[in-house]
Structure 1
């Protein structure tokens, strides 16, 4: 008796989900038609790949100057030490 009640309850839910999937699937095929009429066609030439072997030019200067880098590292070390003390006090 319980199995029959479950089937009667789940059949409309499954049917509604199936109908919704079909409805949304039908709409997705029309999305390609939404491109503007004056859009240029995107033609790829065969054999054109991104140049993955090209490296960026070398920089003579450091991205972060050494004095600024030392200051940042000192600030990070101080923050790490403060957190270690706070964690030890919390125990």
Structure 2
């Protein structure tokens, strides 16, 4: 009697799981079926590698002048000092 009672309690759960599995399985489709008909085929061979040994042309002039570099470094040092003081005041 006990086994029959357990089967009657779990039967609706098993049925619901079976129906859910079938529903989810019916929603799946092949990715190949989803590609458009006018899509280009991928080449079988990947082709050639990019030329990694080619270097960019050398620059004859500096990107920034030494005066500009010194000014930027001074501004960064001043900002660092201000943040250090603000950090000490916050503690």
TM-score by length of 2: 0.57
The unaligned stretches of length 5 or more in structure 1 are: none
Q: Could you tell me which residue of structure 2 aligns to residue 32 of structure 1? A: 35
Kindly indicate whether residue 51 of structure 2 is the aligned counterpart of residue 48 of structure 1: no
26 and 45 in structure 1: CA distance in 2 versus 1, 3 angstrom threshold: closer
Q: Could you tell me which residue of structure 2 aligns to residue 60 of structure 1? A: 60
- Please report how far the alpha carbon of residue 66 of structure 1 lies from its aligned counterpart in structure 2 after TM superposition: 1.6
The unaligned stretches of length 5 or more in structure 2 are: 1-8
Following superposition, which runs of at least 4 residues in structure 1 exceed 3 angstroms of deviation?
27-31, 39-47
Q: Could you tell me which residue of structure 2 aligns to residue 85 of structure 1? A: 85
TM-score by length of 1: 0.57
* Greater radius of gyration (CA): 2
Report how many aligned residue pairs link the two structures: 76
SS of structure 2 residue aligned to 1:33: coil
- Distance (Å, rounded) in 2 between the aligned partners of 1:68 and 1:22: 67
Cα RMSD, aligned residues only: 3.5
